[in-house]
Each structure stands twice: as C-alpha cells, then as structure tokens.
Amino acid sequence: MKRDKSLIAATLKDIAPDLKRIERRLFLRQSLSLGALTMLSGCDLGSGNAVQGALDAMSKWNDGVQAALFSQTRLAKTYAPSDITPNFPFNAFYTEAEAPVINGKTYKLQLSGKITDKKPWSIADLRTLPQESQITRLICVEGWSAIGHWGGVPLHVFLDRIGADKTAKYVGFKCADKYYSSIDMPTALHPQTILALDYADEPLPTPLGYPLRIRIPTKLGFKNPKFITEIFVTNDYPGGYWEDQGYNWFSGS
C-alpha cells in the first residue's frame, strides 16, 4: 500500500499546532490520572466505591486461585537448627508490653460450632495428645520472615479427637487479645498445621502467644493467631481482624 506521502506530510504540517496541543493535553491527562489514582488509593477501604468493589472482588477471586493451588500433601520447607532466627520477632496490632498474660494453670480452650465433643481443654490435656515439632519459616505479610522451632499438636489430630465436622468450610480462632482469624478446612487438615504449645522445646513465651497459638507454615504470619481461647468450626465465613480490613483472606504461601 503506497500512500501519497507529501500529501500526508502537508496535512500533518497544517495540523501540527493542533497535534502539539493534543499531545500536551494527553500528557497532562496522563499525569492527572496518575494523581487521581493516588487519591483514589487514599480512600478508606470499605468506602463502597466502585474501585474498592473491584479490588474486593479480585481479592475473592485470588482466594479461589490460592485454594486451587494449595496442595494438602505439599510440605513447607523445613530448616536446620542452625538456621533458626535469633530473637524471633514479636508482631501484633499492639506493643509487646500490651500482650495478654494468661494463667496457663487455669486456662481452658473453648470449642464451639460443628464439633461433637465441646468439652474445654486444659494445656495439660493438650499435652497428652501426639506432639509434632517443626523448624519452618514464618513469612509476614509485611515482607520480613523468620525461622523458628515450633512444637505442639497437629490440628488434624485435634479436630479428629473432638469430632469436628471436616466437611465444614472454615475453622475459626478467637484470641485473648481480641484478635480473631479463620482458615479453610484443607489448610486446617494439612500435616504441618499445628496447635503450638512450645517454642524451642519450651512452653511458648508470652510474646509468641502463650499458652496456645496456631502455627501454619503454608500461610502468612497474620493467619497464625496467638493467645487462642476458642476454636470453632463453621460454614459461615468468619473473616478475621485484618481480613475484615482488607488483607486477603486465604493468604497462603
């Protein structure tokens, strides 16, 4: 295809000032929309605008993608004792000094929801169950990670023992610090998901969640609640402290 170049050139020359203006306007509009984008992002989560709706919908979609990607038999990498991070970091929505101090002698783990035997459990009771230990990496949603040595009862063992309905969708956790979270049943039944009682072969220190936390090496750190006071099984989406504010619910690794 041969076009008459000189004609096009002439026409272009005629409209060159216009083109320049359009060009400048396009640049301007681009920078404007960049500014607008940053403002949009400043909006509160949950303010109900269309952009936020789309982001929430994508987050739900990503829950599904991660559930499909998740394998109940694929294990998180385990490490040697020499890899353990010294001074395992404390992290919560409050300072370390505000961490709840729980009396392990009187403590009882409450059970509710789709569970046959809802009798509360003491720490001593939990220690009579089979124990597992693991040296795994905890990855925080913020980006840092730390390798720690955790010990306790595999959650699937515990769920079997209390007659939990394993066809239910969710296992939820309520904590002494008002934190709460929930996980999908396949992750709850994963062999490395444990109700942790120990850190480095000693009862959990308070900053790490004494007397009971959940340790899930296939999920981000905020899905590993500490100071657990109640476990429940349900089909109604329970959400979570951060999840309700916008962190992705599945948050698998």
Partner 1 sequence: MSKAGPPKSHPLFVRITHWINALAMILMIGSGWRIYNASPLFDFTFPREITLGGWLGGALQWHFAAMWLLVINGLVYLIYGLVTGHLRASLLPLSPRTVWADTVAALRLKLDHTTGRYNAVQKLLYLGVLALGVLVVLSGLAVWKPVQLWWLAALMGGYEGARLVHFFCMSGIVAFVIVHLALVFLVPATFLPMITGRAPAPKTNEANE
Residues numbered 130 to 149 that lie near partner 1 (CB under 8 A) are 137, 139-145
In a 3-state reduction of DSSP, which class is residue 253?
Answer: coil
Residue 222 makes CB contacts below 8 A (sequence gap 6+) with 140, 141, 181, 240, 241, 242, 247, 251
- Residues constituting the chain: 253
Kindly state whether residue 16 participates in binding partner 1, applying the rule CB under 8 A: yes
Q: Which of 37, 118, 125, 128 binds partner 1 (CB under 8 A)?
A: 37
- Residue from 231, 199, 226, 229 nearest 213 by CA: 226
Task: Report in angstroms how near the CB of residue 85 gets to partner 1 at its nearest.
Answer: 11
Kindly state whether residue 76 participates in binding partner 1, applying the rule CB under 8 A: yes
Nearer to partner 1, 1 or 101 (CB): 1
Residue 110: Cβ within 10 Å count: 14
Q: What does DSSP assign to residue 164? A: B
* Contact range with partner 1 by CB under 8 A, out of 21-29, 104-112, 168-176, 230-238: 21-29
* Contact range with partner 1 by CB under 8 A, out of 102-110, 155-163, 176-184, 244-252: 244-252
8 exposed, middle or buried (CB, 10 Å; 0-12, 13-18, 19+)? Answer: exposed
Kindly state whether residue 124 participates in binding partner 1, applying the rule CB under 8 A: no
| Gap between the Cα atoms of 223 and 241, Å rounded | 10
Kindly state whether residue 72 participates in binding partner 1, applying the rule CB under 8 A: no
* Contact range with partner 1 by CB under 8 A, out of 48-56, 116-124, 126-134, 177-185: 48-56
Residue pair 243/178 in contact by the 8 Å Cβ criterion: no
Q: Which of 28, 36, 58, 124 binds partner 1 (CB under 8 A)?
A: 58
Kindly state whether residue 187 participates in binding partner 1, applying the rule CB under 8 A: no
Kindly state whether residue 12 participates in binding partner 1, applying the rule CB under 8 A: yes
Nearer to partner 1, 51 or 124 (CB): 51
Strand boundaries in the chain, DSSP class E:
110-113, 132-139, 145-154, 170-175, 180-184, 194-199, 202-203, 213-215, 228-234
Which residues contribute to the site for partner 1 (CB under 8 A)? 5, 8-9, 12-13, 16, 19, 22-23, 26, 34, 37-38, 41-43, 45, 54-56, 58-59, 62, 66, 69-71, 74-77, 137, 139-145, 217-218, 242, 245-248, 252-253
